[in-house]
Amino acid sequence: MTEGNNMPENDAAGTNETPAGSEPAKEKRPVEEQDEEKEKTENKENGDSKVDIPEKSEGPGAKEEVEFVHPEGGWGWVVMLASMWCNGSVFGIQNAFGVMYIYLLQEFGSVEDKDLQFRTSWVGSLSMGMIFFCSPIVSIFTDMLGCRIIAVGGAAVGLVGLLASSFVTSLGPMYFTYGIVFSCGCSFAYQPSLVILGHYFKKRLGLVNGIVTAGSSVFTIAMPFVLSGLLKNLGLYHTMRVLCILMLVLMLAGFTYKPLLPVKPKDSQTGSSHLKQIFNINIWKSWGYRIWAFGIPAALYGYFVPYVHLMKHVEERFGKDTNKEVLLMCIGITSGIGRLIFGIVADYISGVNKVFLQVASFFVIGLMSMMIPLCNVFGGLIAVCLLMGLFDGCFICIMAPIAFELVGAKDVSQAIGFLLGLMSVPMTVGPPIAGYLRDKMGYYDMAFYLAGVPPIIGGALLCLIPWVEAKHKRREKKEAVKGEQDAAQKMINHGKAQEVVQHKAGESVL
């Protein structure tokens, strides 16, 4: 090889690296040191800076993201219990509204009121609907302020709303205190309980979600009997004051939500970039999420109808002395079992195949709703409720795992929030429509028949998600292969260009 320490190459390649007065010292160095200096100069010229690349490419945020490992336990078990209490207290009260509904009819109704069923059912349906309607707003505030502040503040608002409802003497104010204030507080307390679990669990997320959502099943089992006893002995208003204890404990549970995932880096820019931070549009780039976010609300127009009107239907069909609370207990028991079973199963099903579990659950729920008017024997109605509860648990427990898979952990808060927001419309309008049909026809049969249609239609729509996601993965794979080929071609072209440069500089091998 030709030596290049005294050739013009040093001026071309080394002028910018070496001070002007260092040439005499360089000539007095031993030959080995001069060769080492030449190698360093050539490496810089050829772009060989492997030592500096990690420092430039790895920022603090990227390092945290790579190194973060979910604890899969520890304090996460305490958070899981707190989330379980949240699900139980919020939806235990909501699902047992059918018991309270009968006492609301007695308290605010009159014989001359022909639209009593319709107007009274708005209290429960508005309450359930507002829990989901507020969810997009809750998700934005959760991203900005964190799970702990939102959960504690929401429980406090829910406590105020429920306490205020215990002093209301007509349906109009009850719409506001119970249907809006109480339910909005529940919404702000509920959603962080789903998001915070992703900070502590990843491999066990399906199981943990099953356990947490089973908390509402335990409450659903017990709450009808508790409410019946309280309402008979204390009356409607004192019962609401007793329920405030659940909301007080919920406030304390929110303090356990210690976040672990790295905080998203804040964008220093203003305007549209700041809006993108608040309103996460990345979730809508996934076609699978788009179908999911509109398919589930389409399936839920009849979902809440049995929880509101089943108790009254049983009174009319089998008599007032029938032990109607057993039906809600049956739904609660099998719903809890379903959440545990399908939560475990969901951990061993890869990718979007979890969607098929939701499809099956909607088909069964729709069919069981249609079966309710056909049951002329109370035992048959119990069997229908057992099966309905089992697949209700399946539908609920895998919602969060599907959201994590479709959009990723960073965007899951708003993904769940917008989904729940879209669910608010069908959850709200379903029970009043059923009450309206009851007022006009004099019986509930048509209401339950129609309540079973939307779940079947929505379930059929969800069947498109696996196909869309598989197509998207194939396209990503093709793009990755093409990218590798382009990168290899660039390396070849770069190598050829370096040979030409070395040849022009007089470094060719003789």
The CA-to-CA distance between both ends of the chain, in Å, stands at 7
Distance CA 416, CA 408 (A): 11
- Using DSSP, state whether 125 is helix, strand or coil: helix
- Within 10 angstroms of residue 338's Cβ, the number of other Cβ atoms is 26
Please give the single-letter amino acid code of residue 78. V
300 or 345, which is more confident? 300
Positive/negative CA dihedral, 424, 426, 427, 428: positive
Query: What DSSP character marks residue 178?
Result: I
Distance CA 122, CA 97 (A): 11
Distance CA 119, CA 435 (A): 8
pLDDT score of 54: 41
pLDDT score of 349: 60
Mean pLDDT of the chain: 78
Residue 58 has pLDDT above 50, yes or no: no
Residue 161 has pLDDT above 80, yes or no: yes
Alpha-carbon distance values, 124 to 204, 238, 268, 323 (Å)? 34, 18, 44, 22
For residue 275, name the pLDDT band (cuts at 50, 70, 90): low
Q: Which contacts qualify for 273-282: CB closer than 8 Å, 24 or more apart?
A: 278/140, 278/143, 278/144, 279/140, 279/414, 280/143, 280/411, 280/414, 282/407, 282/411
The structure tokens 């304390």 sit at: 252
pLDDT score of 500: 67
For 285-322, the pLDDT digits (tens) are: 788 888 988 899 999 888 888 888 888 888 888 888 78
The domains located in the chain, with CATH, are: 69-261+281-462 (1.20.1250.20)
Structure tokens at 69: 């490992």
Structure tokens at 52: 């500096």
Task: Write phi, then psi, for 72 (nearest 5 degrees).
Answer: 60, 30
pLDDT score of 176: 92
Structure tokens at 103: 């006492």
Distance CA 80, CA 86 (A): 10
Mean pLDDT, residues 209-234:
81
Alpha-carbon distance values, 414 to 16, 87, 228, 282 (Å)? 51, 19, 37, 10
Rg (alpha carbons) of the chain, rounded to whole number: 32
For 1-40, the pLDDT digits (tens) are: 434 444 433 444 444 444 444 444 444 445 445 555 555 5
For 93-151, the pLDDT digits (tens) are: 887 887 888 888 888 766 456 677 778 888 888 888 888 888 888 888 888 888 899 99
Alpha-carbon distance values, 432 to 313, 420, 425, 474, 479 (Å)? 15, 20, 12, 45, 50
Distance CA 261, CA 411 (A): 12
Distance CA 13, CA 46 (A): 10
Tell me the whole-structure pTM to 2 decimals.
Answer: 0.63
Mean pLDDT, residues 388-406:
84
Distance CA 161, CA 182 (A): 4
Distance CA 260, CA 198 (A): 9
> How wide is the angle at C-alpha 150 spanned by C-alphas 149 and 156, nearest 5°?
90
Distance CA 443, CA 447 (A): 8
Half-sphere exposure of 107 (CA within 13 A, CB side): 18
In terms of phi and psi (left: phi > 0; alpha: psi -120 to 50; beta: otherwise), the region of 259 is beta
Alpha-carbon distance values, 376 to 73, 117, 371, 379 (Å)? 48, 23, 10, 9
For 429-476, the pLDDT digits (tens) are: 888 888 888 888 888 889 999 999 999 999 999 888 888 877 777 777
Residue 386 has pLDDT above 80, yes or no: yes
pLDDT score of 309: 86
Distance CA 479, CA 485 (A): 10
- Within 10 angstroms of residue 323's Cβ, the number of other Cβ atoms is 12
pLDDT score of 414: 78
By C-alpha distance, which of 341, 86, 344, 407 is closest to 205?
344
Task: Write phi, then psi, for 257 (nearest 5 degrees).
Answer: -80, 80
Residue 61 has pLDDT above 80, yes or no: no
By C-alpha distance, which of 308, 306, 317, 302 is closest to 442?
317
